[in-house]
């Protein structure tokens, strides 16, 4: 494996959407209903939604490659609380999970935000998502439960997790 991380721009939105179909949908197929998956994909991964995240909301997106093959993506931003950065998304293709790739990618994000002044990296993870255990192995701990009404009768039921940097 030859892992490489590149910054993404709005020109990369179609690639992020392609990766979303390969990674996000399978991640949540046993957790959320098909209708909620479609709703959330449109809400978070449509071209207008991703454009807004990259421009107005100042989310920094990263793409992960194995040589020339795109295998994952992540996004992060500052929060209103100084010293805390939010990891909004981090996804690695299932064929690469369990091989140290996720650890490499999350450490890359942690190094970048620490260099930018972060003291804490925070994320939300669905309480039914097995990735929670991966995050715990990477030094994150559960801060609190967070339930978010995302409209259309849907609720995101997450843990807020933090890792000191």
Beta partners for 121?
85, 163
Q: Would you place residue 71 in the very low, low, confident or very high pLDDT band (cuts 50, 70, 90)?
A: very high
Q: Would you place residue 56 in the very low, low, confident or very high pLDDT band (cuts 50, 70, 90)?
A: very high
Q: What is the per-residue pLDDT for 140? A: 99
Average pLDDT of the residues of the chain: 96
Helix (H/G/I), strand (E/B), else coil: 50: helix
Domain range annotation of the chain: 3-164
CA distance 100 to 92: 11
Residue with tokens 């100042």: 58
Whole-number percent of the chain with pLDDT over 70: 100
Burial 22-53, CB ≥16 within 10 A → b, else e: ebbbebbeeebeeebbebbbeeebeeeebeeb
Q: What is the per-residue pLDDT for 65? A: 98
Q: Would you place residue 164 in the very low, low, confident or very high pLDDT band (cuts 50, 70, 90)?
A: very high
pLDDT tens profile 89-111: 999 999 999 999 999 999 999 99
Residue with tokens 């994150």: 140
pLDDT tens profile 110-140: 999 999 999 999 999 999 999 999 999 999 9
Q: What CATH code would you report for 3-164?
A: 3.40.630.30
What is the Cβ-side half-sphere exposure of residue 26, based on CA atoms within 13 angstroms?
11
pLDDT tens profile 12-30: 999 999 999 999 989 899 9
Q: What is the per-residue pLDDT for 147? A: 97
Highest mean pLDDT among 29-33, 52-56, 79-83: 52-56
Q: What is the per-residue pLDDT for 83? A: 96
């Amino acid at each position: 494996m030859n892992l490489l991380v590149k910054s993404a721009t709005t020109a990369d939105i179609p690639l992020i959407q392609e990766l979303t179909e390969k990674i996000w949908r399978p991640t949540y197929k046993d957790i959320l209903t098909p209708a909620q998956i479609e709703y959330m994909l449109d809400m978070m991964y449509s071209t207008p939604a991703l454009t807004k995240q990259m421009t107005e909301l100042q989310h920094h997106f990263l793409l992960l490659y194995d040589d020339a093959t795109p295998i994952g993506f992540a996004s992060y931003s500052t929060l209103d609380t100084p010293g805390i950065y939010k990891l909004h998304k981090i996804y690695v293709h299932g064929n690469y999970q369990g091989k140290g790739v996720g650890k490499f990618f999350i450490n890359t994000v942690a190094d970048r935000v620490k260099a930018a002044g972060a003291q804490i990296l925070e994320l939300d993870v669905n309480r039914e998502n097995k990735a929670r255990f991966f995050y715990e192995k990477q030094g994150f701990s559960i801060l609190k439960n967070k339930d978010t009404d995302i409209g259309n009768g849907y609720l995101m039921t997450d843990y807020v997790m933090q890792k000191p940097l």
